[in-house]
Structure 1
């Protein structure tokens, strides 16, 4: 079987479901485009000899029964939804690579000893409704119906109405599968590290923890012309001092710590008034929980210190505190060995700076992730792309890992 030819054919087919004239895809949860995509995926899997099943919310599995230990399942896949004007690889590549890898293994080695499954998760992105990981959370019975019963999309369509119109509904049982012995997610990196370092494969060790804050600094608004510099309580000036101090500290600590000030709102935000208030966000991430906690303490201490020195009031709201999620050591070793077989030394052991369905799975079953490079690090964008040779190498690595786990 020609891996490249099969993947390119499938990618072209599935990119058409929600495909945009200028390239890329918009395929939002329970939309017409989404419904057509999962329907086509169901048909494809049946044609290729998989045993196909939907769960209540729209997660789709395609199963090849094992010959010796069919009650033990090795699973691979990703999410079928996209962001608005997203690329053709984020999520979709993980599903299609699993199909191609399993087909390759069946042709080369025959039936596996353990069962193999392709998984298409209904949703991960949160792009249509304000809720993320709907697919994987339902897979492990973690989703609370109450969280989505009243939410709507930007056009006022209720989550429940869209779900039921697509032919799905809330799950009615609380059973969680116990047969899954490993889950491996293939994904594009969505960053520049692999491309910059000229690596073809990323061996993912874990998904970084995140702490996100909303900070409100209150100084004193005053006339821009009549208030001397020494008598000001300028909230933006205090903000810039905080940024400079913390960025320098983050740079000194080095990778893989990252720090972002992504949202800033000065008040009153006009040209001739000293800004008396500013609200801003802080996002810090690290793969090591202790290091993340230590840096977060520095973040809070620095903000408080600057506010005190400048005579300002400050409110610090930590509204996200997600712990790092580590991948399974044995699967990491298998991915590393497979990467060496396929790419020689052109691989990198690395954390993921973005969230993925694998972080939900890793809390319940042994889990691993494989990255391939993103050209210019672009993702969540119609220009998202990866060299096809790197995509093929990724599928070869996945096939090797699945072979070790299931044969």
Structure 2
């Protein structure tokens, strides 16, 4: 592949297209997802139980889509699967914009949830296929730009919804359409062709791969880490409002989260250089940060402690979330990069889906401190699969120079 490199960071042009496109579609999707429950309850007149059930089913559709899209991307090419995913995401958004009724909204959102998996998994696969020497760096670029898009989208979404909820869906579809055009015209197929892989290697069942036990360890770890992290989304706002804090006092924590992810990249670079030069060490440090954050929540300290908690946990997030897909890419055999990304993505979705159920049960029966104790337990248990990954890490990194640096 004749890769054209741009700027002093030597980032391939196709990677920049993927990253900038990811920023664009992240802005669009962030107009919508914080307002889904409000739209269903206030506009469509559905109960919160129905709204919650649909959101859970949508997460399940995304989980299934991640497994399927990974296999299809390895078989037919990541670019083709991405295009199908983008088209599949645009159509239901336009349909909801024109016909904002429950009978249209519910099946459309399920199809949307399934389709977006066909975008995320191929992106991760392409990042490693097109820039293997970038290692963690490519995944970190995606992560940072996506979160920058989330910060912009969530900040603007409320104002757009105040004008018209229909506009939220149309604009989301527009941003996805821009990304589709970028893929079609700025990411030509000839620029992203990987070297051919023998069909016999692709047809080998995944459970017979040398890296399959390590993949399962990574999946278990990221499942547990997401199961812990998601409690900040679900349990924390309830506990804070019960303590007398306002919703703006909670939401500003997520503004801080977005600012840290973008502004603290030099801090992460320093941590990786001096504390955690390997992926396994990054995972251990991430567990340490998560544990410290949940211990702060267990302490029931005054309001400023929530800012300290968010800073610490966000630093842990910045290490583990780009690191796990990078690790999965390193252990994947030729021709199965997307499949491995789909499996890891499915495990992440599983943690995001099951975590709120377990955390909600702990909160309802025993209070907020039990939810934080459960989160702390998840993080401690995650050390075991991360250790299993570490035992095989050198085997897969041998002969591959991976630049573990933040961007």
Q: TM-score, normalised by structure 2?
A: 0.25
Greater gyration radius:
1
Q: Indicate the structure with greater strand content.
A: 1
* More RCO (CA 8 Å, sep 6+): 2
More helix per residue: 1 or 2?
Answer: 2
